[in-house]
Amino acid sequence: MGTAKTPVLWTTGAPGTGKSTTAWGLYRRVVEADGNVAYVDIDQLGLIGPPPGGGDAAHAIKAANLLRVLEILRARGVAQLVVSGVVDPEKPYIESRDFALTLVRLTCDRDELRSRFLGRGSPAAALPDLFAVADVYDRAGFGEEMDTTGQRPEETVEALFHRCAVEAGTVRPPDPGQPRPGPVTVVTGPTAVGKSTAAFSALRDLWERDLPVAYVDLAQLGFAHPGPDPALEAALLSAVWRGYRDAGAKRLIVVAREFLPEHRRVFDEVTVVHLDADEPSLTERVRRRAEGESALLAGDELRGAPPGVRDRVAARAVAEAARMRRSGGDRVVLDTSGQEPPETAAALLAVVAQ
């Protein structure tokens, strides 16, 4: 008898239809039920540029990286995989005998799509492009259509939760693989210090210089229960970097709160740049994050957080910073106290460009 296929529930749809919110909600529901589950945002698997790496080739790069990631998670024993993200309307499926794919295409009426899109801070000038994408998806008609007009996000999650496998499963250690060549720059630092903002700004500058660079936010590869699992993160990091190298990337920027020995073993050649900041700076950056001054990513504990939560996160960030200062290690330390994001980004870019 063959090995059973691993179920993959993939939510897709035009921007603003709720695909990421729904998938994250499903992942959290399975975690709360103590199921062995992982969540993957396909948009995190195609951060390579400049175009054509990030242009027309993006769908193919994401699809290849997604299959690598899913195979590692399957080998680890994950019982339910949840994926979100835009697919190629011409070829929207995973081609593998190892997975049982349920592709759900979320839709809503145009008035609601407009209000959701604008409500998350997207520009009104992008509405014509949004509606054009929605039209393409509607015409392609792939997957199972689910109309979410008038639904709250938790209602959409509830409607799909019964489609998920909730099983404990057996966790198996991943294959660490061979170290991969660099150059790789890893940006570390305490919560809310500004790692992602600075690193992504540096990335875009390098793209403007026509340098083929890829980017990984390690936290976005860590959504697996039971977890956290640094060995699994390392295996996924190695696989994604291999995919980016195959697509032509010559350099990698990784963002990670901490760069552990398991992560370091992935690379032959790595430079760690540690961002530090004093207590007033960290407290202020926590406040800004809570008020929406950063990209919204899965697992963000701060967006819209009330003052009590902000205070706890700020205290944790200050404690992390103190502990990280004591830990030392082979790294470049940038003190970002009192800096605005463009100043920190410029300082980081100067190190990366060396």
Dump pLDDT digits (tens) for 36-54. 999 999 999 999 988 655 5
Using pLDDT thresholds of 50, 70 and 90, give the confidence band for residue 198: very high
Q: What is the dihedral of CA 153, 156, 160, 164, to 10 degrees?
A: 0
Quote the CA–CA distance of 68 and 63 in Å, as a whole number.
9
Q: CA 24 → CA 38, 150, 208, 263, 349, distances in Å?
A: 10, 19, 33, 25, 32
350: enclosing H helix or E strand: helix 341-353
Lookup: tokens for 268: 């032959």
pLDDT at 294: 67
C-alpha–C-alpha distance, residues 102 and 112, integer Å: 25
Judge whether 233 and 262 are in contact, CB under 8 Å. Answer: yes
pLDDT at residue 322 in the model: 94
CA-wise closest residue to 19 among 126, 92, 97: 92
Q: Name which of 244, 245, 275 is nearest 258 in CA terms.
A: 275
Strand partners, 147: 107
| Distance separating alpha carbons of residues 218 and 268, to the nearest angstrom | 18
Q: What is the model's pLDDT at position 55?
A: 55
- Residues 296-325: tens digit of each pLDDT: 677 777 776 788 888 898 999 999 999 999
pLDDT, the chain, mean: 90
Whether the pTM exceeds 0.85: the reply is yes
Higher model confidence: residue 21 or residue 297? 21
**The residue count for the chain:** 354
Q: Report the pLDDT value the prediction gives residue 97, as an integer from 0 to 100.
A: 87
What is d(CA 260, CA 272) in angstroms, rounded to the nearest whole number? 11
Strand order in the sheet with 251-255: 48-49, 213-217, 251-255, 184-188, 270-276, 332-335
Distance in angstroms (rounded) separating the CA atoms of residues 82 and 164: 9
* Banded model confidence at residue 292, pLDDT cuts 50, 70, 90: confident
Cα gap 64→3, rounded to integer Å: 22
- What is the predicted pLDDT for the residue at 284? 93
Least confident of 1-10, 75-84, 129-138: 1-10
Place of tokens 């195979």: 71
Residue 29's H or E segment, with its range, is helix 19-32
Residue carrying structure tokens 């660490």? 176
pLDDT at 347: 95
One-letter identity of residue 168: A
What beta strand segments (E) does the chain contain?
A: 6-12, 37-41, 48-49, 80-84, 99-107, 144-147, 184-188, 213-217, 224-225, 251-255, 270-276, 332-335
In terms of DSSP H, where are the helices of 141-229?
153-161, 195-208
Q: What percentage of the chain reaches a pLDDT higher than 70? A: 96
How far apart, in whole angstroms, are the C-alpha atoms of residue 332 and residue 261?
17
What is the Cα–Cα distance from 273 to 331, expressed in whole angstroms?
6
Rg from Cα positions in the chain? 20
pLDDT digits (tens, 9 = 90+) for 202-248: 999 999 999 999 999 999 999 999 999 999 999 999 999 999 999 99
pLDDT at 1: 43
Whole-number pLDDT of residue 83? 97
Q: How far apart are CA 131 and CA 239, in angstroms?
A: 35
pLDDT band at 141 (very low <50, low <70, confident <90, very high): confident
What's the pLDDT at 169?
Answer: 79
pLDDT in tens, 250-291: 999 999 999 999 999 999 989 999 999 999 999 999 988 888
How far apart, in whole angstroms, are the C-alpha atoms of residue 114 and residue 228? 37
pLDDT in tens, 90-123: 776 777 889 999 999 999 999 999 998 888 778 8
Give the pairing of strands 184-188 and 270-276. parallel
Give tens-digit pLDDT for 145-190.
Answer: 999 999 999 999 999 999 999 998 789 998 877 888 879 999 999 9
